[in-house]
Amino acid sequence: MHIDSKQQSIAATLALAPVVPVVIIDDAKAAVPMARALVAGGIPAIEVTLRTPAALEAVRAIAQEVEGAVVGVGTVLTPKDLHAAREAGARFAVSPGISPNILAAADDSDLPLLPGTATASEVMTLLERGYRHLKFFPAVPAGGHKLIAAWASPLPQVRFCPTGGISLSSAPDFLSLPNVICVGGSWLTPADKLKAGDWAGIELLAREARGLK
């Protein structure tokens, strides 16, 4: 798949809702009810991070069992991670930054990649490779919405999904910018609600996030 086609796929996924939940899941059994709660709340694109042993099993379960979910894999650091994400049924992959190896692997894979950036130089490097939709990470520590706003004029062809330190209250600062397509956030699937199986609570958080503009 050509980079343009993969970027169109990423764009369509990011446009599904104002927020992409960034999920750290310890128990794969929680994956399906969690994802169903998010979809019911209007949040279909879900990023499951490769930060726990349960992650790939969770992705596989969501991909197979949750209608309406568009599941992706986050914290993709190596070509092996990218391959494992594809094998698990992920529809997209997300990396916290960029490296020559991960970009080469993404070129050879049909799995769309949302690569992470924190500087204008990284954005320019990815532009040269055909990327127009990028993650901005870690969004708040790296400069927040003011930095992305400053990039809008010299880099108007890029749209961002800021992730890292964003909350329900601060998300509108980012979403109001013309070069932000959505935000990523971990607040939709807090560890206490996942552990307690509070799916109604997660659906409510998803509905709140769906209402963001």
Catalytic residues: 47, 135
Other Cβ atoms less than 10 A from the Cβ of 30: the count is 22
Q: What burial class does residue 212 get, using C-beta atoms within 10 Å of its C-beta: 0-12 exposed, 13-18 middle, 19+ buried?
A: middle
Half-sphere exposure of 182 (CA within 13 A, CB side): 24
Residue 68 in tokens: 């309406």
Q: Partners of 93 in the beta sheet?
A: 73, 113
DSSP string across 110-148: SS-EE-EE-SHHHHHHHHHTT--EEEETTHHHHTHHHHH
Other Cβ atoms less than 10 A from the Cβ of 15: the count is 13
Q: Partners of 136 in the beta sheet?
A: 117, 162
SS3 state of residue 71? strand
Q: Which of 71, 46, 55, 41 is nearest to 201 (CA)?
A: 41
